[in-house]
């Protein structure tokens, strides 16, 4: 498994078949996810640019395997910020698909999957966010 920039195997906890990051590493990965999601959204406006989207896709593949029940407690603020950035990106991706603009379908699928994981984390760790 390829790790996100800055993560080390020592920072991961084995939870059965899945490797779960500890709280500090999960928070760092959420921070990275937030930044990449914002950059990927901008990249969608310039079709020739996709570096952030590619990097985000790699990170999302790792985050999709997170089990909210086995994961440590990441920083609640970073959890919410990552979810908001991914939600913003997901809305842009879905809008582009409706307009039949070229979008990376894997990014759409992974973004939706990680949003489900983050919602599970917020429910499990009682992160309440007013709408």
Each residue of 19-37: pLDDT tens digit? 788 999 999 999 999 999 9
CB 20 within 8 A of CB 67: yes
Q: Report d(CA 104, CA 118) in Å as an integer.
A: 21
**Domain presence at residue 1:** no
Give how many domains the chain has, as a whole number. Answer: 1
Residue 6 lies inside a defined structural domain of this protein: no
Question: According to the model, what pLDDT value does residue 15 have?
Answer: 42
pLDDT 10s digits, 59-95: 999 999 999 888 888 999 999 999 999 999 999 999 9
Tokens of 92: 């842009």
Q: Is residue 131 part of a domain?
A: no
Residue 8 belongs to a domain? no
pTM: 0.80
Q: Is residue 28 part of a domain?
A: yes
In a domain, residue 22? The reply is yes
Higher-confidence position of 55 and 97: 55
Quote the mean pLDDT of the chain: 83
User: Which residues form the domain of 19?
Assistant: 13-124
Whether residue 4 is contained in a domain is answered as no
- The alpha helices in 46-104, defined as continuous H runs, are 51-63, 76-98
pLDDT at 128: 61
User: Given this model, what pLDDT does residue 117 score?
Assistant: 95
Can you give the pLDDT at residue 18? 57
106 within a domain of the structure (yes/no): yes
């Amino acid at each position: 498994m390829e790790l996100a920039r800055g993560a080390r195997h020592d920072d991961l906890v084995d939870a059965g078949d899945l490797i779960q990051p500890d709280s500090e590493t999960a928070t760092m990965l959420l921070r990275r996810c937030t930044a990449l999601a914002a950059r990927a959204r901008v990249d969608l406006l310039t079709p020739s640019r996709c570096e952030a989207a590619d990097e985000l896709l790699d990170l999302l593949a790792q985050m999709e395997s997170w089990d909210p029940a086995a994961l440590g407690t990441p920083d609640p603020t970073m959890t919410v910020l990552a979810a908001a950035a991914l939600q913003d990106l997901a809305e842009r991706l879905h809008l582009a698909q409706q307009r039949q603009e070229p979008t990376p379908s894997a990014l759409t699928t992974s973004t939706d999957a990680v949003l489900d994981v983050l919602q599970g984390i917020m429910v499990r760790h009682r992160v309440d966010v007013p709408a």
